[in-house]
A and B are shown apart, each in its own frame.
Chain A
Amino acid sequence: ETGVTQSPTHLIKTRGQQVTLRCSSQSGHNTVSWYQQALGQGPQFIFQYYREEENGRGNFPPRFSGLQFPNYSSELNVNALELDDSALYLCASSLRQGASNEQFFGPGTRLTVL
């Protein structure tokens, strides 16, 4: 069974640019969540996708957007990058939607905005 994978591992962008981060869910999982983890902090929920539809969102502006594909892989897009967007971005998949279900996390993508 393949676990959750994310790409790329590291990324450096400049302020104002756009970035796309990718996530492959664990086999059989139809739900994916994205989190932002700033240095020294706990993960902050960005949004969750279930069967290609966004079904929950945290306190993040619209320039954070996502997609989930029929194979349940997912993308996180961030437009107009700001310095504060520098963080570790975590993807997590689960068998079903809802916070009660165990989430399996990927290793993350470290984004640095200069």
Chain B
Amino acid sequence: AQTVTQSQPEMSVQEAETVTLSCTYDTSESDYYLFWYKQPPSRQMILVIRQEAYKQQNATENRFSVNFQKAAKSFSLKISDSQLGDAAMYFCAYGGRRTYKYIFGTGTRLKVLA
């Protein structure tokens, strides 16, 4: 069975600084996707970034980038130039290409300090 682990329940970052959120996963599948979702206090989950496992290049979306280490089964999210609006719960999620569900981690609460 697939698992997703987020070992940092809470992180803090100063505005304009950089922070990295960690995620590890376990799977026996070779073809899968990894996601980072953001859940602000208003509750609606929003996709931040997506990585396809067969792509070597790390995904980037503006200030958000990932460090995908397939062999180590590690998928961290780096947020550069942190903004107050980045404060939220961040969930790492796994999706196998042939499965019909996501596996979510327990989340990391990110606080951004002014």
Contacts and interface: CB of A to CB of B under 8 A. Distances in A.
B11 to A, nearest CB: 16
- Size class of A's contact patch? 20 to 34
Contacts of A48: 100-101
B32 to A, nearest CB: 8
Contacts of A107: 42-44
A99 B101 contact: yes
Interface stretch (B12-20, B63-71, B76-84, B102-110): B102-110
Contacts of B47: 102-104
Contact of B95 (A88, A99, A108): A99
A41 B9 CA distance: 10
Interface in A58-114: 58, 88, 90, 92, 97-100, 102-108
Interface in B1-17: 4, 6
Given A42-B91, A99-B33, A105 B103 contact: no
Given A42-B106, A43-B91, A44-B104, A99 B43 contact: no
Secondary structure class of chain B's binding surface, majority of residues: strand
Contacts of A90: 45
Contacts, number: 71
Contacts of A33: 100-102
Contacts of B37: 105
A43 B43 contact: no
Contacts of B4: 42
Interface in A9-66: 33, 35, 40-45, 48, 50, 55-56, 58
B25 to A, nearest CB: 13
A98 to B, nearest CB: 6
A114 to B, nearest CB: 22
Contacts of A104: 47
A45 B101 CA distance: 6
Interface of A: 33, 35, 40-45, 48, 50, 55-56, 58, 88, 90, 92, 97-100, 102-108
